[in-house]
Every structure is written in structure tokens, then in C-alpha cells.
DNA sequence: AATAGAATCAACCGCTTGGTC
DNA sequence: CGACCAAGCGGTTGATTCTAT
């Protein structure tokens, strides 16, 4: 491996790539740029062992190292700090990266915090290189199940936000939460500026099958309890804007007749929920090329040992993880045109941006009715006709189950807290140089920044006293179709 | 074996954020 | 409140290595 050679042979690097002295400092000496030598590494390591992380600009003053603080911090963070994992990403890590990217976009540092031993730079490089292949191969960024899972999570998140609005926001006037004749407690998005956001802030209607008023609590657990107790297929979450990014997966002709859609309120095709569940539980992901098929046999085919190859369109990669969003095979030319007109490269700037872009594109491409047309709510009398809206999809108990599946630390907990939990000490050996120092130094990195403290202290913990991060796949998930090698099987571009 | 292109990765750069005065 | 500074973050660059021809 190239990187190993480089790591092992700093001297060789020195010869191959001349360090550059740039600018000048107080002493008239320039700061060095370029690859680090092992001697410089030793100096920096020694410094950190003595003084802890942080205060990087003082490294040069105190050690004479001709490196700027930035460079020192980077070198330490990416190469010298203890418990860094070296080598290729495991299949589990790859999957985690994909999941996290679906969740956070290009938030490399955040992703790194959820991948113990990995650096943001590493993850960024990994993603950028692999993702290039996907884009060049005209394949979507995410395995289907992961994206769907993320959309599901986002929906749930939005739902919780709206519960918050319903209960605590002063923006919501009493008359705007009134039971409709069906006993629904409606929220009229037209009364709020953020309904313009369409897909980012979908409105919700909480329906109680018991026709009883129900005070929705903003607490996620309470919400889940509410969902379980009150949803008998009557939970309605209308999607206010047809430009919702979910619609990207919905052929236009089907949108005209939403009742025909095998879709639930989360914008997830019901059949997909099963496969999503299967995916989340570690089962191979069914080829998406058949997702929109009305042929139920195909949907049930996932229970057969039908490999992706059998189901995949001929142009698809034989790799199962190549069954991806956007690969819906469908007879709708209109639909296909839409897909063609959205080059994947345009969706790669970042998750939110890309979604916004998608929404814009879709809005302009589809000649939808006025997006507010489905809402004839009258805040004064509380009447709403959301049940008539074509954008209203109903969620059933089985869908609810999916939501509940999301109710784990990774998906529903406060992100910072879940981050901490997931980073709970993992198994990583300390380098000898680190252990050879004072016993407590390894964990006594007195970072001047609390943020650094939390991650650093977690980083150095031994595995013996902890469970692996939750995001890491269990062995039972090991047969999930995304293998480390799958990226490498991407067709090359010449 | 030679070579070109692709892949990989370390490092840098510019910008943003947060804290302090 | 604004200036300044330290640190962090994400994008980009360029050197090195790998791989296909």
C-alpha cells in the first residue's frame, strides 16, 4: 500500500518531496511545509505528551518545530494521535459511512466522531474517491435501503419537530389546532411561513382512531407511545408540497392518482418498508428496479433467494448494493425523463443542498397543481379537508413499526447524546510510544477545548470496558450486501 | 518492461465558529 | 459590539502508488 510505505518511510518522502520553507516568523525563520518527517513527528508527539492537545501555535515556540499550529494539529489528528485505525475501511465502516453521509451530508468531522479511529480526512477521501466512481458510472450515491431509511428518519424527525410546534410554539394559535369533523387534530401549514419549505417541514395531522382529543407530547417516547396506542391505520401525515423530494421516486402519472400508490405517509413505498426492514436487519437489499412494479410477486420475491443479479436490469452492476435510489425501472417515459434531467453530479454537493436542488428541479419540471390546493383548511372554523388531499398518504400499523424501529439511540436520540453513546469506548490498541509514556498520559490529554476533550477521552478508552459503537454492524449484519469490495467492482471510466 | 491514467492520501488553504478582551 | 485569535472544518491540490494496456 502506498500509504504504508509513506508512513514507514518518512526519509524516503523527504527525498522525494522537498519540504518548503515559507514566509517567516518572529525569528526570521520560515515555516516548513510539505510532508512530515519522523523526527518532526517525534517532536510533536513529545510535545503533546507533555502538554496535551490544543494550543497548537505554541508548539513551534516551545519545540522549535518549524510547523504552523494548523499543520501540527492536522498532523496529530490525522496521523499521530492514539487509537487511529490504519488500513482500509471495513465493510461495516463503509456501510456506516454511507449511512452517515445520508444522514449528515458532507459533515466529515461529525462522521469521524461516529467512526472511532477514523479521521475526517480519511472519511472525506474515501467518500470523494468512491463516490466519484459511482457518479461516473451514473449510479446514485446511496444504496436504496440506506437512503430510504434516512428519509424515514427525516420524516420522523420532522414529525417530532411538529409535535413541538403543536405543543410549545407560540406561532401556533389555538384555532390552528382544532379537531376536524373526523376528530383529527389538524395543523394548517398555510398559517406558517415555513410551510413554504415544503419537504423540509411537512405538515402533520394526527388522527386518533378513538376520535378522542389527544394531547400530543413533544417527547419522542411519548410520541411513540401515542403512535402505538392510537394508530390503527389512521395516522395521517399529509405531504404538503408535491415538490417533496419523495416525489422524486414517484412517477408523475402515479401522482395524478395517488390512491394507486403503494405509499405510506412517509413517502416510502409500502413494499419497500419490508425490504427496508430486511436491509436494516442485515438482509440483502432487493433490487430497486422492481420497486415500482405493481407485481406483488416481485416484491415478495425478496424472500426467495433471488439474487440481485436475477432481478437487476441488465445494465445494472451485479453487485447487490448497486440496487440504488433512482434506479427504479419504470415504464413511464415522463418519469425517466425526469430522472435523466437530474444528473447525479448535481446532487452531490451535500445532502440538504442536493435535496433542495432536487426539489427545485422537480417543482419546475412537474406541472403540479398549486401546492396548497390540498389544504382548504379554515383556521377560523377548524375545518379541514386534508383527508381529500391527494398528497395525504396513510400510515398503517406496519409502517408504524418502521417508525418504532427508528426509535433507537442512533436515529431518535438527541444527536449529541447518541453520538456520545455510540462512541462509547471501542477496541483500539494504543501505540507503543503512547503507552510507554506516563500511565495516565494516554487518557489525560488536557485539551483546552471541551469538544476535543470528549472525543479524545473516548478515543483512548479500551475496548475491555465497553461495547462497540452502535453504528458498527453486528455479525448478524455481516451478510448485508454492501461489501468492502463492492466499490472496487464499480466499472472504471476510461 | 514501459507507460499512461486512475486511485489514494497527506497536506494545505480559506473560511467559519467560538471564546476572550 | 467589534477586533482578535485559536481551533475546527470542508474543499482542493499535488505527490506517490497502483493498475491496466
For A359-406, write each residue's pLDDT tens digit.
Answer: 454 444 443 333 333 333 333 333 333 233 323 233 344 444 444 444
**In this structure, are A10 and A45 located in the same domain?**
yes
Secondary structure of residue A196 in the 3-state scheme: helix
Q: What is the DSSP string of A288-305?
A: GGGTT-S-HHHHHGGGTT
Secondary structure (3-state) at A33: strand
Residues contacting residue A310 through CB under 8 Å, at least 6 positions apart: none
Q: What is the nearest nucleotide to A1, using C1' and CA?
A: C17
> Considering the domain boundaries, does residue A208 fall inside one?
yes
Whether A39 and A122 share a structural domain:
no
Instruction: Judge whether A494 lies within some domain.
Output: no
Protein residues bordering strand C (Cβ below 7 A): A 1-2, 5-6, 12-13, 16-17, 53-57, 69-70, 73-74, 77, 106-110, 120-121, 124-125, 128, 349-350, 447-449, 451-452, 492
What is the per-residue pLDDT for A163?
55
Is there a single domain that holds both residue A269 and residue A371?
yes
For residues A465 and A81, the answer to whether their CB atoms sit within 8 Å is no
Q: Which nucleotide is nearest to A104 (CA to C1')?
A: C10
Cell of A328: 427504479
Q: What confidence category does residue A309 fall into, taking pLDDT thresholds of 50, 70 and 90?
A: very low
Nucleotides of B under 7 A from a protein CB: 5-14
C-alpha cell at A403: 417508525
Mean pLDDT over residues A411-427, rounded?
A: 43
Torsion sign over Cα A406, A409, A411, A413? positive
Q: Region A439-468: what's the mean pLDDT?
A: 34
Helices marked H in A90-199: 91-104, 108-113, 120-136, 144-168
CA distances from A398 to A11, A122, A203, A403, A483 (A): 61, 39, 21, 9, 29
| Block residue for cell numbers 440504488 | A324
Ramachandran assignment for A475, one of left (phi > 0), alpha (psi -120 to 50 degrees), beta (any other): alpha
Q: How many CB atoms lie within 10 A of CB A5?
A: 10
Answer with the one of A356, A386, A406 that is the final residue of a domain: A406
Q: What percent of chain A has pLDDT over 90?
A: 0
- Shared domain for A219 and A305, answered yes or no, is yes
Instruction: Judge whether residue A124 has pLDDT over 80.
Output: yes
A149/A117 same-domain check: no
Q: How far is the CA of A82 from the C1' of C7 (A)?
A: 20
**A306 and A443 share one domain:** no
Residue A42 pLDDT: 86
Nucleotide nearest A125 (Cα, C1'): B9
Would you report the helix, strand and coil content of chain A in percent, each value rounded to 5? 50, 5, 45
With beta carbons less than 8 A apart as the criterion, state whether A288 and A325 touch.
yes
Count, residues in chain A: 494
Query: A388 lies in a domain?
Result: yes
- For residues A98 and A131, what is the distance between their CA atoms, to the nearest angstrom? 10
Of the residues A406, A431, A461, the one at which a domain ends: A406
Long-range interactions of A39-48: CB distance < 8 A, separation 24+: A39/A10, A40/A65, A40/A67, A40/A75, A41/A10, A41/A75, A41/A79, A41/A80, A44/A72, A44/A75, A44/A76, A44/A80, A45/A80, A45/A433, A48/A76, A48/A80, A48/A81, A48/A445
> In 3D, which of A71, A48, A78 has the Cα closest to residue A442?
A48
**Cell 415555513 identifies what position?**
A194
Q: Enter the C-alpha cell of residue A164.
A: 413541538
Residue A211, in any domain of the structure = yes
Q: Does A474 lie in the same domain as A358?
A: no
Q: Which residue is nearest to nucleotide B7 (CA to C1')?
A: A129
Domain membership flag for residue A473: yes
Return the pLDDT at A105. 82
Residue showing cell 408504524: A400
Q: What is the CATH number of the domain that holds A24?
A: 1.10.10.60
- A248 and A184 housed in the same domain: yes
Beta bridge partners of A191: none
The reply to whether A9 falls in a domain is yes
Residues A148, A247 share a domain: yes
pLDDT at residue A408 tops 50: no
Task: From the CA of A227 to the C1' of C11: give the distance in Å.
Answer: 43
Residue A86 lies in a domain: no
- State whether A33 and A156 are in the same domain: no
Q: How far is the CA of A19 from the C1' of C14 (A)?
A: 13
Number of domains observed in the structure of chain A: 3
Residue where a domain stops, chosen among A347, A376, A406: A406
Q: Exposure string (b/e) for A74-111, b if CB count within 10 Å is 16 or more?
A: bbbbeebbbbbbeeebebbbbbbbbbbbbbbbbbbbbb
Is residue A102 very low, low, confident or very high in pLDDT (cuts 50, 70, 90)? confident
A269 three-class SS: strand
Distance in angstroms: CA A124, C1' C11: 10
A341 within some domain: yes
Cβ–Cβ under 8 Å, residues A314 and A350: no
| Spatial contact of A262 and A269, defined as CB atoms under 8 Å apart | yes
The proportion of chain A whose per-residue pLDDT surpasses 70, expressed as a percent, equals: 22
pLDDT surpasses 70 at A265: no
Statement to judge: residues A228 and A350 lie in one domain: yes
Closest alpha carbon to A459 in A414, A483, A429, A487:
A429
A269 shares its domain with A132: no
CA of A69 to C1' of C2 (A): 25
**Distinct helix (H) and strand (E) counts, chain A:** 20, 6
- Domain interval for residue A40: 2-80
Q: What average pLDDT does this structure show over A323-334?
A: 34
Amino acid at each position: 500500500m502506498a500509504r504504508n510505505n509513506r508512513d514507514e518511510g518518512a526519509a524516503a518522502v523527504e527525498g522525494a518531496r522537498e519540504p518548503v520553507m515559507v514566509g517567516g516568523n518572529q525569528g526570521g525563520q520560515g515555516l516548513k511545509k510539505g510532508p512530515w518527517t519522523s523526527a518532526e513527528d517525534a517532536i510533536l508527539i513529545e510535545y503533546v505528551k507533555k502538554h496535551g492537545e490544543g494550543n497548537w501555535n505554541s508548539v513551534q515556540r516551545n519545540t522549535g518545530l518549524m510547523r504552523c499550529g494548523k499543520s501540527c494539529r492536522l498532523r496529530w489528528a490525522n496521523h499521530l494521535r492514539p487509537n487511529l485505525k490504519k488500513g482500509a475501511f471495513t465493510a461495516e465502516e463503509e456501510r456506516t459511512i454511507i449511512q452517515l453521509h445520508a444522514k449528515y451530508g458532507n459533515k466529515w468531522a461529525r462522521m469521524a466522531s461516529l467512526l472511532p479511529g477514523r479521521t475526517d480526512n480519511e472519511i472525506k477521501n474515501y467518500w470523494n474517491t468512491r463516490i466519484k466512481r459511482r457518479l461516473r458510472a451514473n449510479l446514485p450515491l446511496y444504496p436504496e435501503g440506506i437512503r430510504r431509511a434516512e428519509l424515514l428518519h427525516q420524516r420522523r424527525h420532522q414529525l417530532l419537530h411538529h409535535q413541538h410546534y403543536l405543543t410549545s410554539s407560540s406561532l401556533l394559535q389555538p384555532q390552528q389546532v382544532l379537531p376536524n369533523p373526523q376528530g383529527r387534530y389538524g395543523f394548517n401549514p398555510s398559517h406558517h411561513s415555513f410551510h413554504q419549505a415544503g419537504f423540509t417541514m411537512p405538515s402533520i395531522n394526527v388522527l386518533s382512531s378513538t376520535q378522542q382529543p389527544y394531547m400530543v407530547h413533544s417527547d419522542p417516547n411519548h410520541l411513540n407511545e401515542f403512535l402505538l396506542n392510537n394508530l390503527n391505520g389512521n395516522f395521517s401525515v399529509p405531504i404538503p408540497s408535491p415538490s417533496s423530494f419523495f416525489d422524486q421516486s414517484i412517477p408523475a402519472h402515479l401522482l395524478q392518482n395517488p390512491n394507486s400508490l403503494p405509499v405510506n405517509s412517509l413517502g416510502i413505498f409500502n413494499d419497500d418498508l419490508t425490504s427496508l426492514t430486511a436491509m436494516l436487519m442485515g438482509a440483502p437489499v432487493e433490487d430497486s428496479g422492481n420497486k415500482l412494479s405493481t407485481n406483488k410477486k416481485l416484491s415478495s420475491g425478496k424472500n426467495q433467494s433471488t439474487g440481485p443479479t436475477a432481478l437487476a436490469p441488465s445494465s445494472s452492476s451485479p453487485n447487490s448494493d448497486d440496487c440504488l435510489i433512482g434506479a427504479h425501472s419504470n415504464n413511464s417515459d415522463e418519469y425517466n425523463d425526469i430522472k435523466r434531467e437530474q444528473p447525479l453530479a448535481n446532487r452531490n454537493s451535500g445532502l440538504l443542498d442536493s435535496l433542495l436542488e432536487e426539489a427545485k428541479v422537480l417543482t419546475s419540471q412537474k406541472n403540479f397543481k398549486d401546492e396548497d390546493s390540498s389544504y382548504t383548511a379554515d383556521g377560523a372554523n377548524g375545518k379541514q379537508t386534508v383527508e381529500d388531499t391527494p398528497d395525504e398518504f396513510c400510515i398503517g400499523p406496519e409502517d408504524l413499526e418502521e417508525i418504532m424501529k427508528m426509535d433507537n439511540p442512533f436515529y431518535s436520540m438527541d444527536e449529541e447524546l447518541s453520538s456520545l453513546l455510540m462512541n462509547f469506548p471501542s477496541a483500539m490498541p494504543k501505540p507503543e510510544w503512547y503507552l510507554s509514556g506516563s500511565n495516565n498520559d494516554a487518557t489525560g490529554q488536557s485539551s483546552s477545548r471541551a469538544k476535543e476533550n470528549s472525543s479524545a477521552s473516548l478515543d483512548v478508552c479500551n475496548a475491555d470496558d465497553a461495547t462497540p459503537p452502535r453504528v458498527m454492524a453486528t455479525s448478524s449484519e455481516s451478510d448485508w450486501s454492501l461489501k468492502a469490495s463492492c466499490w472496487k467492482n464499480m466499472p472504471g471510466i476510461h
